[in-house]
């Protein structure tokens, strides 16, 4: 029986992760409910960090033992460039498959992909269909499957594709990190950008705004710029609808998501997966606040999802 979750400090549950010549970290939180020992693997999305998702992970821990690993180039982990590879979706999917095979040799899992993390999860299941047999429940948390799930206008989409491709280049990415990601510049300008201003609009006080900004600065600096931009270019062209996955999916979308068209997301997931269940979050942004604590992040697990997790946890 694993030791139950007792600490509110994420650092108490972070372990080193060394795999395929890359060093990073992994968050492992034992179940907070002694009756539920199901293994839950959560893959975070873009612009992320283990600590950023701590509040949500505490909620997932009510239904099993939760593992959240860094992915190459994200969360401070070494990037694929260190071993002479590019951070393609296929390479990220292969890395995830290796992680699952090593960590869950004879175990079944609940698999959760958050936003871009779900793109990687989907591609992994497509490339390694034998791993679908290990999945008791597949959850898309704010995930997507195809480039036209985005709500961007065509000019904005083309602009983002072009800019991400340029900034992914070695010299330009270094300049971008030095100038655009300077903490002073971020504090002055970031909250005014097209997408970020919608996130910061949720700050109820100057104190909350300041805490969000400090976390955003950490997130921009801890994630490898070349990886961030290369994967942005990749997911703005992604099409995971070409291969089916013989697993039902439970998709949790946000009512106020300013990135994705909910109808198209559902259509594409119905093409890929054997069945589809949709749940809508009463959330005015794409994701919970970057500083959401356990109580604030509880809404990320709506009642219908909690019932599904409860049912699978008892199996």
Asked if the structure places residue 4 within a domain, the reply is no
Asked if the structure places residue 101 within a domain, the reply is yes
Mean pLDDT, residues 158-165 taken together: 95
Q: How much of the chain, in percent, has pLDDT values that exceed 70?
A: 98
Q: Are both 43 and 91 inside the same structural domain?
A: yes
The domain total for the chain is 2
pLDDT of residue 155: 95
Domain span holding position 221: 154-231
When comparing pLDDT for 5 and 66, which is higher?
A: 66
Asked if the structure places residue 203 within a domain, the reply is yes
Q: Are both 195 and 256 inside the same structural domain?
A: no
Q: Are both 115 and 29 inside the same structural domain?
A: yes
pTM, entire model: 0.94
Rounded alpha-carbon distances, angstroms, from residue 133 to 1, 5, 91, 161, 187: 24, 29, 22, 36, 47
Last residue of a domain, one of 185, 204, 231: 231
CA distance 68 to 70: 7
Mean pLDDT, residues 287-308 taken together: 91
Q: Are both 128 and 164 inside the same structural domain?
A: no
Last residue of a domain, one of 204, 231, 258: 231
CA distance 101 to 60: 22
Confidence band of 6 (pLDDT split at 50, 70, 90): low
Q: Are both 164 and 135 inside the same structural domain?
A: no
Q: Are both 90 and 222 inside the same structural domain?
A: no
**Helix axis angle, 170-179 to 225-235, nearest 10°:** 110
Q: How much of the chain, in percent, has pLDDT values that exceed 90?
A: 83
Asked if the structure places residue 237 within a domain, the reply is no
Residue 15 exposed, middle or buried by CB count within 10 Å (0-12, 13-18, 19+) = exposed
């Amino acid at each position: 029986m694993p030791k139950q979750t007792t600490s509110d400090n994420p650092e108490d549950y972070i372990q080193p992760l060394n795999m395929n010549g890359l060093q990073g970290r992994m968050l492992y939180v034992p179940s907070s409910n002694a009756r539920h020992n199901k293994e839950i693997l959560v893959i975070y999305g873009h612009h992320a960090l283990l600590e950023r998702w701590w509040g949500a992970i505490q909620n997932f821990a009510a239904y099993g033992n939760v593992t959240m690993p860094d992915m190459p180039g994200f969360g401070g982990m070494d990037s694929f460039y260190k071993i002479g590879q590019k951070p393609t979706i296929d390479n990220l999917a292969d890395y995830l498959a290796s992680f699952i095979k090593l960590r869950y040799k004879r175990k079944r899992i609940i698999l959760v992909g958050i936003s871009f993390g779900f793109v990687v999860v989907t591609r992994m299941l497509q490339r390694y269909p034998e791993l679908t047999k290990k999945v008791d429940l597949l959850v898309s948390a704010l995930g997507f499957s195809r480039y036209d799930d985005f709500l961007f206008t065509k000019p904005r989409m083309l602009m983002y594709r072009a800019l991400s491709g340029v900034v992914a280049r070695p010299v330009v990415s270094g300049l971008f990190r030095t100038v655009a990601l300077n903490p002073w510049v971020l504090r002055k300008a970031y909250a005014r950008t097209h997408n970020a201003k919608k996130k910061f609009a949720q700050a109820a006080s100057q104190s909350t705004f300041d805490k969000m900004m400090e976390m955003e600065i950490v997130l921009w600096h801890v994630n490898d710029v070349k990886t961030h931009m290369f994967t942005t270019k990749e997911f703005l062209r992604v099409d995971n609808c070409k291969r089916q996955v013989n697993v039902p999916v439970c998709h949790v979308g946000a009512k106020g998501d300013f990135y994705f068209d909910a109808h198209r997301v559902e259509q594409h997931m119905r093409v890929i997966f054997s069945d589809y269940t949709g749940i809508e979050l009463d959330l005015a942004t794409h994701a919970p606040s970057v500083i959401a604590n356990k109580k604030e992040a509880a809404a990320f697990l709506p009642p219908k999802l909690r019932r599904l997790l409860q049912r699978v946890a008892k199996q």
